[in-house]
Amino acid sequence: MGLYAALDKFVAEWSGYSGVRGELLPSGIKNMRFSSEVETNLYRIAQEALNNINKHAQAKNAELILERRDNVIILIIADDGIGFSPKNKDILDKGIGLIGMQERATLIEGTLEIESAPAAGTTIYVQVPISFIKRRNEND
């Protein structure tokens, strides 16, 4: 099972138990496969982000997008919850899950950015360079 199919299955299950309407939006890379390292880390980032939404966001909706833009694969996770101030040191210090997501992105030479504001939801952007994915696919 590829990353898109695994995410689609997880989002459906997560929606069932969280009560948050989750959706993985269609993209042109449904059938693309990546190295197990890339797929596992992106899956775990999405899993942690959705679990954080369930625990903290008080969201009604969450969307995931997995797509290719230029020379990167992008994973976007967005919710319509209560949001938070990314400058709030208490949240970031206690955010072990946030640190783990950042570390996972770094492992695959990616970047992770969080945009959030009180009462404005949260969006997480993960970008992984195609050059890293190609090198890993050649080594698999």
Give pLDDT, residue 97. 85
Q: What does the pLDDT read at residue 89? A: 65
Given this model, what pLDDT does residue 91 score? Answer: 67
Q: Give the CATH number for residue 28.
A: 3.30.565.10
Structural domain including 14 reads 3-139
Whole-angstrom distance, CA of residue 2 vs CA of residue 11? 14
**Residues paired with 75 in a beta bridge:** 66, 126
Q: How many domains does the chain have?
A: 1
Query: Which long-range CB contacts under 8 A does 93-98 form with residues at least 24 apart?
Result: 97/48, 97/51, 97/52, 98/52
Average pLDDT per 10 consecutive residues for the chain, totaling 140 residues: 94 98 89 91 98 95 95 97 82 75 96 95 96 69
| C-alpha distances in Å from residue 117, one per residue of 64, 101, 139 | 19, 19, 41
Q: What is the pTM of this model?
A: 0.91
Report pLDDT for 128: 96
Q: Rounded distance, CA 55 to CA 60, Å?
A: 12
